[in-house]
Homo-oligomer: A and B are copies of this chain.
């Protein structure tokens, strides 16, 4: 945890930025929440610092994404969800009927991902990957 803070600090300083309280709180919120929308992040951050503005959260997330400290994926139709990069990488399976989210290992996609890189030179961004579909339960119940 403290090691994370040091790491974040170094990363930001190296690119001419500061690790402000707001930024630290955003990073901690993203790390804690796992899959978090900007709305959820600002809510979490405000538990500690109630005055933090949502536009600061957006600006922070943009910056952190440029620095590759966080990345985002689109799980549903609404807001994107952010997560810290490198930690527990996973691919999402999102049920379009009930909204349930399962995670699978990126390893399982190693096959095609490797082929695409070899044949087309296209490198898939695993952090951003989402597979939409229908979960077993919804299929069994005939939900759509």
Chain A residues engaging chain B, CB cutoff 8 angstroms = 74, 77, 80, 93, 95-96, 102, 104, 108-109, 111-112, 115-116, 120-125, 128-129, 131-136, 139-140
Residues on B with C-beta less than 8 A from A123 are: 133-134, 139
Task: Flag if A125 contacts B96 (CB, 8 Å).
Answer: yes
Bound: A138/B133 CA distance, A: 30
Q: How many copies are assembled?
A: 2
* Interchain residue pairs with CB less than 8 A apart (20): A77-B80, A93-B122, A96-B125, A96-B128, A102-B120, A102-B122, A104-B116, A104-B120, A116-B131, A116-B133, A121-B135, A121-B136, A121-B140, A122-B131, A123-B134, A123-B139, A124-B133, A125-B134, A129-B131, A129-B132
Bound: A25/B120 CA distance, A: 36
Residues on B with C-beta less than 8 A from A109 are: 112
Bound: A96/B134 CA distance, A: 27
Beyond the given pairs A96-B128, A122-B134, A128-B132, 10 more chain A to chain B contacts, judged by CB atoms under 8 angstroms and listed by A's residue number, are: A74-B74, A74-B77, A77-B80, A93-B116, A93-B122, A104-B120, A108-B112, A122-B131, A123-B133, A125-B132
